[in-house]
Structure 1
């Protein structure tokens, strides 16, 4: 039986759900994948806890988020570089997204790669900031970076492009990649609500943050299409290369006019080949009835690949919940072992 030691950076809701998943399915993973996964360290905002023999998940999964205190190790660097004999095999990166600098995730990932660890990242910041650089480091080290959880969580966007469409020519990608904005647009359409009322409903239901700008202004969708584009088209684009418009200007009247023709408004993130370049865009679009993305309702997401050889491939669904993101991280780890 294989043994894989995991270090987790960041202990927010996704990391907590990930630990719960490991705890609940430990025996099933051993039986199905012949691998025992052990969490040996968790790096929190003010310190970390560590046990080379494995932390007790029955205790760890019960800890409140943000409760990881200081131990004898002050930082991730102290653990994986100063004590290489005690390092893990896989880093699961779950720190809050920082789009300006990518930190602290960027340093954690670089330190883990330097220590010959594979990476599974749910956080987007470091990848948006430096994905091509990190992939180059990983290649030089013979390690892997998996990040399906950062490209629409439970919806298998990256997996379809990397595995199901392997060998095919992807001509374009169009996706509804943000569950919050889609919930708002669905509420406007089905409930005949204004944008302001639909946003309030999303906040009352815990779907939208108190400050929802990242979702409603399209930046979260831009990050996800950027990661998909750089990963699948092997480009080196940045957020500055994307034209981004959010959903704030979509009105109740716009919704009603679209519905007359059986259409719906959706926030679409797209990457399309145009001659010798790749054009990335995020904007609200009117989706006609024949487009399968019209059926993406509520907090669900969807993605549409246009390929030269396989035609149109569409996937819809994917829970917009920390549990879905945690499951995506677990899937990436299992695929690493495979």
Structure 2
């Protein structure tokens, strides 16, 4: 019996797109044997169809006109790999309207417009698959949607950006500053020429919106996510944190606290003994706490041509099998967590904090600082004063017990105005996972 053919059109012939094509070619026989389907690349669209990508294509497959894909009734699945919000949004929307299923790796698009895109797919009886949007080849999307479908989740904690994790890992391991570590990341191809989206946490926030939707059935608006990047993390704080038994990671966090859901991205101190603390370099990891399966860690390369392309091909195979069986699995079949009534603002969160103040080395300084904390009801857990050097101001490192974010920030604002304080204070949240 001949295999059924599924025709796909690729929009975006970049690194991941080229990887997908290589996999479909190199693994053609295996995929056909496993699925009984033949996935056929019918058309490839890109603004640049002349540059070499390390994979040869018949010129008849290449086009710079996206209509050659969207208007072709023989194309069953559109693979969108151009990234960004526009024109990707228009292409995905048009594909769904014209009766095509969609596979995308576009986390920014889904974070900003996922609700509308999923609703349109539901209305048209089509599917949107997006495994490569979070963690590249780590099968976190499929695991949350299918493998853990019977679970309720308490929280998800992720290191989901390879650039920032490489920079922080490099600073910690090589005892170098932020800019030096970032330059090394760029030199190795782990960071963009303009790394702002990664360094300031927005890429992680996009991925967190998707994870929050899958775990809690709530599609948070990107503006509802608290986002803080790593550009102000100093080597000094990384080393002091290590002395206290912590590592600093850029963590994407979604967790339930009572009837509220916290959704935030920021530098975080986590215990050196936790599995996430040992995730280094460009690797990603997602730690999930669930009621039935317990605590799970998903780990692997968070970027890379074949890692991401592997996830895209996985989606293609799932869709092809659905089409073969005549099945439709709605994208919006995520059940909202009934316990979650609202999103909690950053001012409402409570946690322990690492605090570093830089002050004059003279009697009474600690009394002034602790007095301010006492007025705001903040209890100090530990204090370490570093040695002074030649009359310079001294760093004072503190850990405070659980405190309300709003009160902590108010207390630091008062402390920073004291005449004995020489630099703006540093506060980094400590997460108990």
Partner of 1:22: 24
Offset of residue 45 of structure 1: 2.1
Residues 179-198 of structure 1 mapped to structure 2, 5 A cutoff? 179-198=162-181
Provide the secondary structure at the position in 2 that maps to 1:303. Answer: strand
Deviations 1:262-291 (A, max 9, x none): 321110001112333322100011110332
- Given the alignment of the two structures, is residue 230 of structure 1 paired with residue 210 of structure 2, yes or no? no
Partner of 1:54: none
Offset of residue 156 of structure 1: 2.0
**Aligned partners of 2:47 and 2:260: how far apart in 1?**
41
Partner of 1:279: 262
Offset of residue 146 of structure 1: 0.9
- Given the alignment of the two structures, is residue 61 of structure 1 paired with residue 55 of structure 2, yes or no? yes
Q: In the alignment, which of 90, 110, 131 is matched to residue 107 of structure 1?
A: 90
Partner of 2:34: 32
Provide the secondary structure at the position in 2 that maps to 1:154. Answer: coil
Partner of 1:316: 299
Provide the secondary structure at the position in 1 that maps to 2:27. Answer: helix
- Report the CA distance shift for 1:256/1:300 in structure 2 as closer, same or farther (over 3 A): same
- Report the CA distance shift for 1:284/1:332 in structure 2 as closer, same or farther (over 3 A): same
Q: Is the Cα contact below 8 Å between 2:43 and 2:63 reproduced in 1? A: no
**Aligned partners of 1:69 and 1:7: how far apart in 2?**
11
Matched residues, number:
314
Question: How well do the aligned residues superpose, as a CA RMSD in angstroms?
Answer: 2.1
- Given the alignment of the two structures, is residue 305 of structure 1 paired with residue 288 of structure 2, yes or no? yes
- Given the alignment of the two structures, is residue 257 of structure 1 paired with residue 240 of structure 2, yes or no? yes
Partner of 1:177: 160
Q: Is the Cα contact below 8 Å between 1:2 and 1:36 reproduced in 2? A: yes
**5+ long unaligned stretches in structure 2:** 322-433
Offset of residue 31 of structure 1: 1.8
- Given the alignment of the two structures, is residue 154 of structure 1 paired with residue 137 of structure 2, yes or no? yes
- TM-score normalised by L of structure 2: 0.69
**5+ long unaligned stretches in structure 1:** 49-58
Offset of residue 302 of structure 1: 0.2
Q: Is the Cα contact below 8 Å between 1:293 and 1:316 reproduced in 2? A: no
Provide the secondary structure at the position in 1 that maps to 2:269. Answer: strand
Residues 91-130 of structure 1 mapped to structure 2, 5 A cutoff? 91-97=78-84, 102-130=85-113
Partner of 1:52: none
Q: In the alignment, which of 60, 70, 81 is matched to residue 80 of structure 1?
A: 70
Provide the secondary structure at the position in 2 that maps to 1:38. Answer: strand
- TM-score normalised by L of structure 1: 0.87
**Aligned partners of 1:236 and 1:219: how far apart in 2?**
16
Q: Is the Cα contact below 8 Å between 2:161 and 2:302 reproduced in 1? A: no
